[in-house]
């Protein structure tokens, strides 16, 4: 059953039918503009890092996060049982009792997680990154309720016998799911699939840089071994994947991996590979590892695939008017018309296209998936996306930390929501334990099969 934005907000009639004359907007004077700037980004918040913050700083930081969310967060209807003011009051004594700056920021993260949004986060000061974010060059994932190693990005670890397909049975002597459970409480996520990725892929092995992590591993034959794995210090760690990769598979099927929309170089990289890509008979686009960035970079790629304007998601943001509260007027939303993305030119790619998605497909990569679906250019194969996009509002917190609050609500043009749900593939494919252990990419194989059965891959 589809969830529609208008219905979810209880607006009744369509937004179009409630259109009113445009309100009158008057620009601020220079003095008013300066006063507004001081109000929203005051130097008061830029206090330096210390291992222990003062009670005043701790209360102020909690208060700033609470108030920014109260006025800007667009999804309170998705957490109807959350009493935001009561939660603030409950955390006042907790943050004051926090013995360290790290413990304080962990409490803010725990509170933030109650909003259940992937674009609403709290980040500790950079001085603490080495205490919480360092992880060895391994990638893990939860597959069929087992935690498997899916990537080993260091030859040093490979020589020690650590390999994809091994199951992580325990971490530091604690059963893996018991070890992961406390981390679930800190994850700001909009969907169950995103929460599991954040827990079992991104943060499971993270911790202090100088403290090794002890892994109990079981291979496909049931043999168990223990490995003490350093979190840092690898001279042979493989570099991050480039934002765009292209190769040609069998039967002249192009494979285009868009690994990030965070680098503007992707536009030139796409222009460089397009002459080769255009010679292929069919194309598979892979955004399974794309955590987002700038949506316009993704739309630029899509503009090579059509000679028609490309529709995209619509958006709204809360439109708060202080005087409307004493007048008891209902809350309002502000939105602007979304212009379609123009096609690239007169020589678009004409072959069939399949898009691969997964739970790590996030943010701008989901905007890409929505536009791909709307332009009806091909089939989406894989798993639902992470289910979170939007425009975060970032701000400083005492002690050198920061936070961000999602400020924009996105949906399909007809109001169907994908935030909190995920963009759904037309062909659902879940990797299995056996697939990982055999080195098979089940989702890619399903895409090739889809092209073959449709009679379009040759």
Mean pLDDT over all residues of the chain? 92
Q: Please check whether residue 164 lies inside any domain of the structure.
A: yes
Q: Please check whether residue 210 lies inside any domain of the structure.
A: yes
CB–CB of 136/205 below 8 Å?
yes
Assess whether pLDDT exceeds 50 at residue 65: yes
Does the predicted TM-score (pTM) go above 0.85?
A: yes
Res 33: pLDDT: 85
Same domain, 212 and 168: yes
Same domain, 254 and 210: no
Mean pLDDT over 321-348 rounds to 92
- Banded model confidence at residue 185, pLDDT cuts 50, 70, 90: confident
Q: Which domain holds residue 449?
A: 244-453
Same domain, 171 and 275: no
Total number of domains in the chain? 2
Residue 321 token pair: 């008017």
Assess whether pLDDT exceeds 50 at residue 17: no
With helix as H, strand as E and coil as C, how does 372-438 read?
HHHCCCEEEEECCCCCCCCCEEEEEEHHHEEEEEECCEEECCCCECCCCCCCCCCEECCCCHHHHHC
CB–CB of 358/443 below 8 Å?
yes
Same domain, 272 and 306: yes
Same domain, 215 and 268: no
Res 349: pLDDT: 97
Angstrom distance (rounded) from CA 87 to CA 85: 5
Same domain, 253 and 360: yes
Assess whether pLDDT exceeds 50 at residue 16: no
- Banded model confidence at residue 364, pLDDT cuts 50, 70, 90: very high
**SS3 of 139, please?**
strand
Identify the CATH number of the domain in which residue 190 sits: 2.30.42.10
Q: Please check whether residue 114 lies inside any domain of the structure.
A: no
Res 20: pLDDT: 57
pLDDT tens by residue, 374-418: 999 999 999 999 999 999 999 999 999 999 999 999 999 999 999
pLDDT tens by residue, 282-302: 999 999 999 999 999 999 999
Pairing, β 282-286 against β 353-357: parallel
Same domain, 249 and 312: yes
Res 147: pLDDT: 98
Same domain, 318 and 403: yes
Same domain, 225 and 253: no
Assess whether pLDDT exceeds 80 at residue 217: yes
Res 77: pLDDT: 95
Angstrom distance (rounded) from CA 116 to CA 130: 26
CB–CB of 107/65 below 8 Å?
no
Mean pLDDT over 204-210 rounds to 96
Assess whether pLDDT exceeds 60 at residue 458: no
Angstrom distance (rounded) from CA 414 to CA 395: 33
Mean pLDDT over 239-243 rounds to 94
Task: Examine the fold and report which residue of 173, 200, 229 is the final residue of a domain before the chain moves on.
Answer: 229
- Banded model confidence at residue 279, pLDDT cuts 50, 70, 90: very high
Q: Please check whether residue 63 lies inside any domain of the structure.
A: no
Identify the CATH number of the domain in which residue 314 sits: 3.90.226.10
Q: What percentage of the chain carries pLDDT values higher than 70?
A: 94
Mean pLDDT over 39-57 rounds to 92
Mean pLDDT over 128-137 rounds to 95
DSSP string, 14-39: -TGGG--PPPP--PPPHHHHHHHHHH
Mean pLDDT over 64-70 rounds to 97
Same domain, 335 and 251: yes
Res 415: pLDDT: 94
Res 28: pLDDT: 85
Same domain, 263 and 320: yes
**SS3 of 280, please?**
coil
Task: Examine the fold and report which residue of 229, 258, 279 is the final residue of a domain before the chain moves on.
Answer: 229
């Amino acid at each position: 059953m589809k969830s529609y934005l208008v219905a979810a907000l209880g607006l009744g009639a369509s937004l179009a039918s409630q259109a009113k004359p445009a309100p009158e907007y008057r620009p601020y004077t220079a003095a008013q503009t300066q006063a507004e700037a001081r109000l929203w980004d005051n130097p008061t918040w830029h206090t330096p890092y210390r291992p222990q913050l003062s009670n005043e700083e701790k209360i102020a930081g909690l208060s700033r996060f609470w108030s920014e969310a109260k006025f800007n967060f667009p999804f309170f209807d998705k957490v109807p049982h959350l009493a935001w003011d009561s939660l603030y009051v409950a955390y006042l004594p907790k943050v004051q009792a926090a013995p360290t700056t790290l413990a304080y920021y962990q409490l803010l993260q725990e509170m933030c997680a109650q909003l259940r949004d992937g674009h609403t986060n709290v980040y500790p000061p950079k001085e603490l990154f080495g205490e919480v974010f360092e992880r060895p060059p391994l990638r893990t994932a939860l597959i069929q309720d087992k935690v498997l190693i899916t990537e080993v990005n260091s030859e040093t670890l490979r020589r020690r016998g650590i390999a994809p397909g091994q199951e992580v049975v325990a971490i530091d002597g604690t059963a893996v799911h018991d070890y992961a459970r406390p981390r679930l409480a800190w994850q700001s996520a909009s969907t169950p699939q995103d929460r599991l990725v954040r827990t079992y892929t991104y943060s499971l092995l993270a911790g202090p840089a100088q403290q090794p992590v002890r892994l109990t591993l079981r291979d496909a034959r049931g043999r168990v071994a223990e490995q003490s794995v350093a979190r840092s210090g690898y001279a042979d760690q493989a570099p991050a994947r480039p934002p765009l990769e292209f190769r040609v598979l069998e039967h002249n099927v192009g494979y285009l991996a868009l690994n990030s929309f965070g680098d503007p170089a992707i536009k030139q990289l796409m222009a460089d590979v397009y002459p080769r890509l255009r010679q292929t008979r069919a194309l598979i686009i892979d955004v399974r590892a794309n955590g987002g960035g700038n949506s316009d970079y993704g739309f630029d790629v899509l503009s090579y695939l059509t000679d028609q304007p490309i529709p995209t998601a619509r958006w709204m943001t809360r439109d708060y008017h202080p005087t409307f509260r004493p007048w008891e007027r209902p809350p309002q939303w502000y939105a602007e018309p979304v212009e379609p993305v123009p096609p690239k030119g007169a020589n678009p790619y004409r072959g069939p296209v399949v898009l691969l998605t997964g739970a790590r497909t996030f943010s701008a990569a989901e905007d890409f998936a929505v536009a791909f679906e709307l332009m009806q250019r091909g089939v989406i194969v894989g798993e639902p996306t992470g289910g979170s996009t939007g425009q975060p509002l970032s701000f400083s917190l005492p002690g050198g930390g920061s936070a961000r609050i999602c400020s924009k609500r996105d949906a399909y043009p007809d109001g169907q929501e994908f935030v909190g749900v995920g963009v759904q593939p037309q062909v659902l494919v879940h990797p299995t334990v056996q697939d990982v252990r055999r080195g098979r990419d089940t989702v890619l194989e399903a895409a090739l099969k889809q092209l073959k059965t449709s009679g379009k891959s040759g």
